[in-house]
Amino acid sequence: MSVVTRFAPAPTGRLHVGNVRTAIHNWLWARKGGGRFILRLDDTDAERSEQAHVEAIREDLAWLGLEADEEHRQSLRFAHYEEGFERLRAAGRVYPAYESAQELDLKRKVQLGRGRPPVYDRAALALTADERARLEAEGRRPHWRFRLDHDAPIAWDDLIRGPQHFDPSLLSDPVVRREDGSWLYMLPSAIDDVEMGVTHVVRGEDHVANTALQVQMFEALGAAPPAFAHEALLVGSEGKLSKRLGSLGMDSLREAGIEPISILAKLARIGTSLPVEPVTDAAPLIESFDFATFGRAPARFDMAELEALNAKVVHQLPYAAVAERLPEGMGEADREALRPNLKSVAEAAGWWEILHGHVEAEPAPEDRDFLEAAAEAAGEIDWSESPWAALVASLKERTGRSGKALFHPLRRALTGRDSGPEMAALLPLIGRDQAIARLRG
């Protein structure tokens, strides 16, 4: 059976590291299984869903390289939900309920006060046709609940969490449709998964209780449930759920110079037994992806670790992969000299200015004569091969300086920086005339 997965974000905001991690795992599993990855926009909430967010989701996934094989919008599928709903109503698996939110809240408080779980008491099932007609005549409109089968224990073998068991009598019949006719998440999702042939649902462990309810929805719709994998949630570097993770959108990571492949490499493997390693394409991530490697403990996300990983990725990226993002005129030799010191591709622009622009560095008084001697030596050495070694050797002989006293003033005068790429690589790129001018200030 070909693998079919889906990523189903609601277009009510931008993607962040938490839901992108889910998208990555769904995409990796589909690619490993040679199947299909579906983008399904859960935009049934007309008030909160925005086209701008739809475009942003598409843009973020494209930037990450998570190409979808299909795209669907729930707002265009209402007829499918109506048809499924009517089938369930004819079978007695959905029923109208008339309690207000305040009445339901009071029921929950009474049950909790008596030490009982706050499970809906199914009072609506006892209403007669006349009683329902009277309530509607009073202006009450029903919401609709899915009737769980209390005689059918709920169980599935989760690909991450292992065997799962729920007693349906301890669960409330879930509301699937509001008083105004709008849909809640679970029934449209189940209908879509059936009709789109979804074989695997990969999502966060906060959906486990929803899955228990949906298992019976699949069966009531006459379909076998897909396989489920509920992954541990992300936590921040401080070891607990962090609001900051929700603010780490792909746009902010892009602005910070993080490469998309760095995000894939990080989010594909945190929370698993596999090491997070720098890669330059997704092939090794696809090949190694396995739910058996996922742990049950929360997955720890640390921005500093992502930045360190990104630096390693940048060091490995070939020139052709970044050439379009480098400053105009920066050739492969220039980039090769700078690469070990770049934490992001964007940093190349700053070093390009150092190589070919204006550098200001006020020398210490005790270094002025030394730098004048360096300028004279730079005019006399052979620049055709290893000019840095030749310059250093000449200055040692002329001035007697060595170590930091020799190297640091030269680096400051030539680059305006106290540290950076090897001067042996930089000096030929700076060139003879510019080097002499900088040494003389």
Q: Distance (Å, rounded) from C-alpha 216 to C-alpha 194?
A: 13
Share above pLDDT 70 across residues of the chain, in percent, rounded to a whole number:
98
The mean per-residue pLDDT over the stretch 231-256 comes to 79
**In this structure, what token pair is assigned to residue 277?**
């390693």
**In this structure, what token pair is assigned to residue 314?**
């940048």
Q: Distance (Å, rounded) from C-alpha 187 to C-alpha 85?
A: 8
Q: Does domain 365-439 have CATH number 1.10.10?
A: yes
How would you classify residue 400: left for phi > 0, otherwise alpha for psi between -120 and 50, otherwise beta? left
User: Same CATH topology for 91-149+161-177 and 365-439?
Assistant: no
Range with the lowest mean pLDDT among 71-80, 331-340, 352-361?
352-361
The 10s digit of each residue's pLDDT in 10-31 is: 998 889 999 999 999 999 999 9
The 10s digit of each residue's pLDDT in 119-151 is: 999 999 999 999 999 999 999 999 999 999 999
> Does the pLDDT value for residue 226 go beyond 80?
yes
Residue 356: HSE in the Cβ half-sphere, 13 Å Cα cutoff: 10
The 10s digit of each residue's pLDDT in 184-213 is: 999 999 999 999 999 999 999 999 999 999
Cα-based distances in Å from 198 to 25, 41, 218, 223, 339: 15, 15, 12, 11, 44
- How much is the pLDDT for 188? 97
- How much is the pLDDT for 240? 59
Q: Distance (Å, rounded) from C-alpha 211 to C-alpha 148?
A: 13
The 10s digit of each residue's pLDDT in 363-422 is: 899 999 999 999 999 999 999 989 999 999 999 999 999 999 999 999 999 998 898 888
- How much is the pLDDT for 66? 97
Helix axes 186-195, 78-90, angle to 10 degrees: 100
The 10s digit of each residue's pLDDT in 427-438 is: 998 999 999 999
Q: Which CATH superfamily does the domain covering 91-149+161-177 fall into?
A: Glutamyl-tRNA Synthetase; Domain 3 (3.90.800.10)
> Does the pLDDT value for residue 239 go beyond 70?
no
Domain ranges within the chain, ordered by starting residue: 91-149+161-177, 320-356, 365-439
The mean per-residue pLDDT over the stretch 92-120 comes to 94
- What is the overall mean pLDDT for the chain? 93
